[in-house]
A and B are shown apart, each in its own frame.
Chain A
Amino acid sequence: QQQVKQSPQSLIVQKGGIPIINCAYENTAFDYFPWYQQFPGKGPALLIAIRPDVSEKKEGRFTISFNKSAKQFSLHIMDSQPGDSATYFCAASMKSGGSNYKLTFGKGTLLTVNP
């Protein structure tokens, strides 16, 4: 059972475009929602994250929008650049065993930004 559903699977935009990646979850026990960026041959790296008491968070050109009632969140990349071409993963975290947290990932979106 996939707990975090991510779409689209792949996305191609032109430089300067605004790609949007969407995620949805079912388990209301999730209480932290990070996005990770992965370049080929590298491990995922934390990009930006949001907690459910906030509807939007911006860091540079990256924005997360969060809709708690719909159990959905999305990543927007403003003024996208070819260097943003990577695989993006949404994730959701909840407590698992004492004070530890378990991170569950979406299936990833391969973003290509053409020059």
Chain B
Amino acid sequence: EAEVAQSPRYKITEKSQAVAFWCDPISGHATLYWYRQILGQGPELLVQFQDESVVDDSQLPKDRFSAERLKGVDSTLKIQPAELGDSAMYLCASSLAGPGLWGTGELFFGEGSRLTVL
């Protein structure tokens, strides 16, 4: 069964360091999402891609976070420099339909990347 792949599963870093997360969506899924989930809360959308284009990055702290999806397949989320408040689970998801009138259907999530900033 096709899955969304994420790495690393766990990352411990010191504040002010750079950190990067990678996501490979299910083949053929045009839409890719990065969510941040703080312990005990629901996932919050950071950035949404349609193919290689950013559809929504309104909640992405652009002074320290960046995301790219070159060639419209896999994606990287980077934080530089990391701060204590960035400790969270970073979830990647993909969906078959685009963000137009007939999306969003079901999202398929990876297992997440747990970040701890010391």
Do A and B bind? no
Which A residues are within 8 Å of any B CB, using their own CB? Answer: none
